[in-house]
Amino acid sequence: MKATVKMALITMLMGLCALHAQKLPKKTSIDISKTQKIDLSTKTIAKPQRIEVKKFQGLNAEQIAKLPATTYDRSALLKLKFNKSWEIKPGRMTDKDMKVVSYFGKFEQSPRYISVYPENKYYPRVNNGAPGFLPEMRFLVLQFNPEAGQRYRMIIKLKPGEYGNKKVMTNVTGKYNETWFINNQYDEIMFDFIGDSREIKISPIIAGAESYYSKYEPLEIAKIKVDRIDEQSKLED
């Protein structure tokens, strides 16, 4: 009887592994040094490095870690006047017409942070033919109803930590992914953008470690704030 139960469990586990087994991502030939740098001239302060979503989907974790990222003028962004705000934080996933609709992460009863994790997927052949798990990018998705053509500012405050040379990817257009360096002094990502899509996506941390198995790290978010910029007002002195 015990032998029968043991055999049934082994069969079930083999079936689950076969069900979840994935094909290893192919190395797509894309010159990542030629990602599009969008110059929005006077429309926005931040000038992001962008890659089309279709091209991004063909990249593996190692190629994504090598994508160029953008820094931003924090002081100039903070001078922008605004007339409306939305704020998302742990325990408050909805504010007016903005809400978190999905993310892959850790759930806690009294969370201090919104933890956005990569997903480890099982592959039957990873290292020299042996089975194992590889990280896959998963985004936190915010549903939002921006005014088309209106300018906004996004501030993502993170758990205090060491973020030197680490990056986060966002998508505010639906067509492009933008890559930003995390401000290590203020533990944040900040940029302005033009309203165009009803979704805002935020990735886990792109660590850029040498090991293929640790390209992504959890992004611990303390607060997400989106401000509607008052274009009628001049910048504060």
User: What is residue 236's predicted lDDT score, i.e. its pLDDT?
Assistant: 47
Tokens of 50: 């962008």
In angstroms, the CA 220 to CA 157 distance is: 9
The pLDDT of residue 215 is 72
Alpha-carbon distance of 137 to 48, in angstroms, equals 20
Dig out the tokens for 226 from the structure. 């989106």
Q: Who's near 37: CB < 8 A, 6+ residues apart?
A: 47, 48, 49, 50, 70
- Angstrom distance (rounded) from CA 91 to CA 62: 34
pLDDT of residue 47: 87
pLDDT at position 210 is: 53
Alpha-carbon gap, residue 13 to 104, rounded angstroms: 24
pLDDT at position 62 is 77
Q: What are the residues whose beta carbons fall under 8 Å from the beta carbon of 47, sequence distance 6 or more?
A: 37, 38, 39, 40, 70
The tokens for 95 are 């504010």
Structure tokens at 186: 């203020």
Q: Are 226 and 71 in contact (CB under 8 A)?
A: no
pTM for the model stands at 0.78
What is the reported pLDDT for 31? 56
Q: Write down the H helix ranges in the chain.
A: 2-20, 53-56, 61-65, 74-78
Calpha distance 78→155 (Å, rounded): 10
Residue 61 near residue 212 (C-beta atoms within 8 A): yes
Q: Is 183 exposed, middle or buried (0-12, 13-18, 19+ CB in 10 A)?
A: middle
Residues of the chain with pLDDT under 50: 1-21, 33, 37-41, 234-237
pLDDT given at position 139: 94
Q: Which amino acid is at 162?
A: E
b vs e for 12-36, b when ≥16 Cβ sit within 10 Å of the residue's Cβ?
eeeeeeeeeeeeebeeeebebeebe
Tokens read off for 39: 């110059």
